[in-house]
């Protein structure tokens, strides 16, 4: 609901004066591919967990965490590119368009990092030899959250490209 409210506010605000139109850096396309790949890897990790393929699960859950961190890094790199083109995101000299982008994408990144933290915790548990719990519920919950974050990014990305 928070993202729906922010995107609604974005639409209302963009019709006011002094709105700066700019293109998203190409790196945001790459980050979109990365987060889509991470959804695939967490899906495959869950399948491996349920099949009790521990080695495969370890690899896939770790890869998912890596892809989440990579996604976040690419987002920050994209913000850096905007700054290099003179588009200040927040503070004095910023424009509401850039500030909306910073807030919307920044909040999404916070959600991604929360998911990465959960994935990292379960990645560490996957390498622990003392844990023998084969309940798939925690992995399913993390997967559901991760797919939500992915779908949310797709919505935001499409919104930011088409609605601008």
Write the pLDDT tens digit of every residue in 26-45.
999 999 999 999 999 999 99
**Tens digits of per-residue pLDDT, 48-84?**
999 999 899 999 999 999 999 999 999 999 999 988 9
Q: Report the predicted TM-score, pTM, of the whole model to 2 decimal places.
A: 0.88
Name all contacts of 145-150 with Cβ < 8 Å and 24+ positions apart: 145/115, 145/118, 146/38, 146/39, 146/42, 146/64, 146/68, 146/115, 146/119, 147/39, 147/42, 147/43, 149/35, 149/108, 149/111, 149/112, 149/115, 150/35, 150/36, 150/38, 150/39
What pLDDT shows up at residue 77? Answer: 95
**Tens digits of per-residue pLDDT, 84-137?**
988 888 888 878 888 888 899 999 999 999 999 999 998 888 777 665 667 888
């Amino acid at each position: 609901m928070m993202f729906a409210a922010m995107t609604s506010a974005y639409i209302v605000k963009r019709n006011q004066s002094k709105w700066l139109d700019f293109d998203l850096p190409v790196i945001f396309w790459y980050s979109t591919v990365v987060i889509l790949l991470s959804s695939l890897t967490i899906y495959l990790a869950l399948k491996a967990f349920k099949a009790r393929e521990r080695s495969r699960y370890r690899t896939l859950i770790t890869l998912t965490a890596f892809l989440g961190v990579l996604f976040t890094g690419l987002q920050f790199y994209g913000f850096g590119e905007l700054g290099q083109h003179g588009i200040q995101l927040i503070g004095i000299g910023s424009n509401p368009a850039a500030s909306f982008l910073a807030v919307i994408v920044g909040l999404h990144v916070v959600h991604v990092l929360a998911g990465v933290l959960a994935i990292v915790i379960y990645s560490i548990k996957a390498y622990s030899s003392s844990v023998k719990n084969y309940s798939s519920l925690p992995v399913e919950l993390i997967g559901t959250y991760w797919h939500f974050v992915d779908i949310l990014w797709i919505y935001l990305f499409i919104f930011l490209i088409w609605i601008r």
